[in-house]
Chain A
Amino acid sequence: SQTIHQWPATLVQPVGSPLSLECTVEGTSNPNLYWYRQAAGRGLQLLFYSVGIGQISSEVPQNLSASRPQDRQFILSSKKLLLSDSGFYLCAWSVLAVSYNEQFFGPGTRLTVL
């Protein structure tokens, strides 16, 4: 069966520090991968999605970036964190080329920027 991992689970970082969040998927090949941010325990904001290695689409211009160095690995990065980057970051995957398939979410990373 497929599983999705995110780490770290929680992170507290000072303003201006770098960020690297990692997401990996097991049990499937060529997935679509997504990064979402959830603020204040409510709405989801799609940040990035990827349909293949090295293919990244950005949804919201900001100081975050994403990379997909391997088929089942998705990384969210920042060179300098802002206070507004605090939130709950969720990675998700879906089956490539099947447009009606649901997305499956990881456990999330709680980021607090101080």
Chain B
Amino acid sequence: AQSVAQPEDQVNVAEGNPLTVKCTYSVSGNPYLFWYVQYPNRGLQFLLKYITGDNLVKGSYGFEAEFNKSQTSFHLKKPSALVSDSALYFCAVRDMDSSYKLIFGSGTRLLVRP
């Protein structure tokens, strides 16, 4: 079965420190992977995606993600966290059985303390 796992409910990091939000996936074939961010009482905002090519993908707001096929991971990273990065982050993978659908992880809450 296809799935996306975000093993951490919450990640805490100090402002200025690097952050990593973890995501692993399980699909057959080559995955299409996405990261979204959600601020309180708002819709999801697209951050970045991996389709093919360079394993390091750069996205909005200084975020990047590294695709690792052997570890089936797509971790979100940022070199220096900001307090304003505090939000809920979702990883998603395209559903291989129905190409118009995304399978979302359960979300990881990022808390950046001043």
Binding site for B on A (CB under 8 A): 32, 41-44, 46, 49, 51, 88, 90, 92, 94, 99-100, 102-108, 110
Flag if B46 contacts A104 (CB, 8 Å).
yes
Partner of A102 from the list B34, B40, B104 (CB cut-off 8 Å) is B34
Given contacts A108-B41, A108-B42, contact A103 B107 (CB under 8 A): no
What residues on B are CB-neighbors of A100 within 8 Å?
32, 49, 51, 94
Binding site for A on B (CB under 8 A): 32, 34, 36, 40-46, 49, 51, 88, 90, 94, 99-102, 104, 106-107
Q: Which 8 A-B pairs have the closest CB atoms?
A: A99-B99, A105-B43, A105-B44, A100-B32, A44-B104, A102-B46, A43-B106, A100-B51
Flag if B102 contacts A103 (CB, 8 Å).
yes
A51 to B99, CA, bound (A): 11
What residues on B are CB-neighbors of A46 within 8 Å?
101
What residues on B are CB-neighbors of A51 within 8 Å?
100
Q: Smallest distance from the beta carbon of A52 to chain B beta carbons, Å?
A: 11
Partner of B49 from the list A32, A49, A92, A102 (CB cut-off 8 Å) is A102
Nearest residue, chain A, Cβ from B33: A100
A88 to B38, CA, bound (A): 12
What residues on B are CB-neighbors of A42 within 8 Å?
88, 106-107
Given contacts A100-B49, A100-B51, contact A107 B43 (CB under 8 A): yes
Partner of A106 from the list B36, B43, B101 (CB cut-off 8 Å) is B43
